[in-house]
Chains A and B, each alone.
Chain A
Amino acid sequence: MMKCKRCRSKAEVQIRHHNAAFCRPCFILVFQRQVQRAIEKHRMFTPEEEVLVAVSGGKDSLALWDALIELGYHTVGLHLSLGIGEYSRTSRTRTLEFACRRNLRLITVDLEADGGTIPELARFTNRPACAACGTTKRHEFDRVAFENGFKVLATGHNLDDEAARLLGNVMRWQLHYLAKQAPILEPTHERLARKVKPLYRVSEYETAVYAFFRRIDYVVDECPNSVGATQLMYKDALNRLEAAMPGTKLTFIQDFLTSGRSAFSAAADDTPQTCEGCGMPSFGALCSYCRLRREVENKQRAWETTHTASDGH
Chain B
Amino acid sequence: MLITLLPQRKRIEIEGRRRVADILHQLGLLPGTVMVIRGDELVTDEEVVEATDSIEIRNVISGG
Contacts and interface: CB of A to CB of B under 8 A. Distances in A.
B32 A16 contact: yes
B44 A14 contact: yes
B1 interface: no
B35 interface: yes
Contacts of A133: 64
A16 B58 contact: no
Nearest to A21: B44
A239 B33 contact: yes
A58 interface: yes
Chain B facing A: main interface SS: loop
Interface string A221-260: 1110110010110011001101100000000000000000
A2 interface: yes
A283 interface: no
A130 B35 contact: no
Interface residues of B, number: 22
A59 B6 CA distance: 14
Given A2-B44, A212-B37, A220-B6, A235 B32 contact: no
Nearest to A204: B60
Contact of B46 (A2, A13, A160): A2
Given A2-B46, A209-B35, 9 more contacts: A2-B44, A16-B32, A205-B60, A212-B42, A223-B62, A226-B63, A232-B63, A239-B33, A243-B32
Interface of A: 2, 11-14, 16, 21, 58-60, 130, 133, 160, 203-205, 207-209, 212, 220-223, 225-226, 229, 231-232, 235-236, 239-240, 242-243
